[in-house]
Structure 1
Amino acid sequence: MKLVKLIANLGYGSRKDVTALFRSGRITDGAGDVLYTDDVVPLDTIRVDDEPLDPPAGLVLMMNKPLGITCSRKDPGRVVYDLLPPRYSVRSPAMSSVGRLDRDTTGLLLFTDDGALLHRIISPKTQVTKVYEATLAQDLRGDEGELFASGTMMLESEKEPLAPAELEVLGPRHARLSVTEGRYHQVRRMFAATGNNVETLRRVSVGGLVLGDLPLGEWRPLDASEVALIFAA
């Protein structure tokens, strides 16, 4: 693929826009030498305005999603895509969130432009475990762990029971819940079914990939070894 098309696909502008970047000398190699449209160079040596070129298709990002932001492209309020560089919204193929966290849930959110990877992560067949930490409005009553692990728990308006989930009690009103499904508002609905309400909810890991100390509202790309961790747990 020619450099102009490749760089345009990464969201830096139309082919005409990218051609203008070349003509103005804003696309260089790692040594600062100006590149031309017909040059053949490794992608990891290309710079745009002295910044490394974004990774090509197959990009995977992790974000520490803050409160009050939705996983949508059309919500009238703030959306998670507002936290990414604008060019990420016009890449081809497009970047999409891997599943969703609701407006009032924080924590680990993944993005990718690899459709096959996205579907592999969210597929029920893969059974990638998602771990959430919740603070609750009332003390745990004591039987939630057994109920969640039973594989027979039914949620309102659902026709199939939930897959077994693991509850770890961290305090009277603080718990960690591991689930392998991604039903609508699942964690909140599970606690609601026991007569309790979730006050704060944070996703801390997906598979073996842990959020760690990534600051709230920040994001970073993942390398291949980190992507592999998603399927390692």
Structure 2
Amino acid sequence: MKLVKLIANLGYGSRKDVAWMFREGRITDVDGEVLYADDKLEHARILVDGEPLDPPPGLVLMMHKPLGVTCSRKDAGRVVYDLLPPRYRVREPALSTVGRLDRDTAGLLLFTDDGALLHRIISPRANVAKVYEATLAEDLRGDEAALFASGTLLLESETTPLAPAALDVLGPRHARLVLHEGRYHQVRRMFAATGNRVETLQRVAIGALTLGELAPGAWRALGTEDVERIFTAMPEALT
């Protein structure tokens, strides 16, 4: 692929814009040599305005989604794409969220431009675990773990029972829940079915990939080993 098209597809501008950047000498190699539109060079050796070129297609990001931000490209309020460089909105192929977290749920959110990977993660066949921590309005009754693990819980307005889910009690009003499916507002509706209400909710892991020290609103690109953690068992500290 020609450098003009590669850099334009990464969202740095139209092909016309990028051609102008070449003429201005803004695109160089790591040694500071000015590049030309028809040059061929390894992706990792290309700089734009002295900064490394954004990752190529096949990008996977993790973000610590903060509260009050919507998993959407357009919304009246703030959206998750506002937390990324503006050019990430217009990359080709498009960078999409892997599932969603609602405005009032914080925590681990994935993005990718790899459609096959996205579908692999969200497919029920993959059985990828999603781990949430919730604080509740009322004390736990004591029978929630058995109910959630039974595979018989039927949410309001649905006709198919939930798949078994694991509940770990962390305190009288604090619980960790491990799901292997992703229905609409599932965690909130599960606790509502027991007569309780979720006050705060955060996703802390997907598979063995955890938030770690990532601060709210921060994000980072994932390497191959990180992506593989999505499909591996959770660490014992989260089970």
Q: Which residue number corresponds to residue 197 of structure 2?
A: 197
Q: Which residue number corresponds to residue 96 of structure 1?
A: 96
Query: CA shift at 1:3, angstroms?
Result: 0.5
Query: CA shift at 1:84, angstroms?
Result: 0.6
Q: Which residue number corresponds to residue 40 of structure 1?
A: 40
What SS is found at the alignment partner of 1:229?
helix
Output the amino acid matched with 1:3. Answer: L
Query: CA shift at 1:59, angstroms?
Result: 0.1
- In structure 2, C-alpha distance between the alignment counterparts of 1:3 and 1:197, rounded to whole Å: 53
- In structure 2, C-alpha distance between the alignment counterparts of 1:79 and 1:68, rounded to whole Å: 9
Q: Which residue number corresponds to residue 154 of structure 1?
A: 154
- For each residue in 1:19-67, what CA deviation from the matched residue of structure 2 results, as whole angstroms up to 9, or x when unmatched? 0111101001111111111111110010001110011110000000001
Root-mean-square deviation (CA), in Å?
A: 0.6
- For each residue in 1:80-107, what CA deviation from the matched residue of structure 2 results, as whole angstroms up to 9, or x when unmatched? 0110111001000000000000000000
- For each residue in 1:103-131, what CA deviation from the matched residue of structure 2 results, as whole angstroms up to 9, or x when unmatched? 00000000000011001101111110000
Output the amino acid matched with 2:66. Answer: P
What SS is found at the alignment partner of 2:126?
coil
Gap runs ≥5 in structure 2: 234-239
Match status 1:172 vs 2:172: yes
Normalising by structure 1, what TM-score?
A: 0.99
Normalising by structure 2, what TM-score?
A: 0.97
- Residue-pair matches, total: 233
Counterparts of 1:29-108 in structure 2, within 5 Å, are 29-108=29-108
Output the amino acid matched with 1:34. Answer: V
What SS is found at the alignment partner of 2:124?
coil
Q: Which residue number corresponds to residue 11 of structure 1?
A: 11
Q: Runs in 1 of length 4+ with deviation above 3 angstroms? A: none
What SS is found at the alignment partner of 1:125?
helix
What SS is found at the alignment partner of 2:4?
helix
- In structure 2, C-alpha distance between the alignment counterparts of 1:142 and 1:148, rounded to whole Å: 11
Query: CA shift at 1:75, angstroms?
Result: 1.3
Q: Which residue number corresponds to residue 120 of structure 2?
A: 120
Percent of pairs identical after alignment? 75
Q: Which residue number corresponds to residue 236 of structure 2?
A: none
- In structure 2, C-alpha distance between the alignment counterparts of 1:217 and 1:147, rounded to whole Å: 35
Output the amino acid matched with 2:94. Answer: A
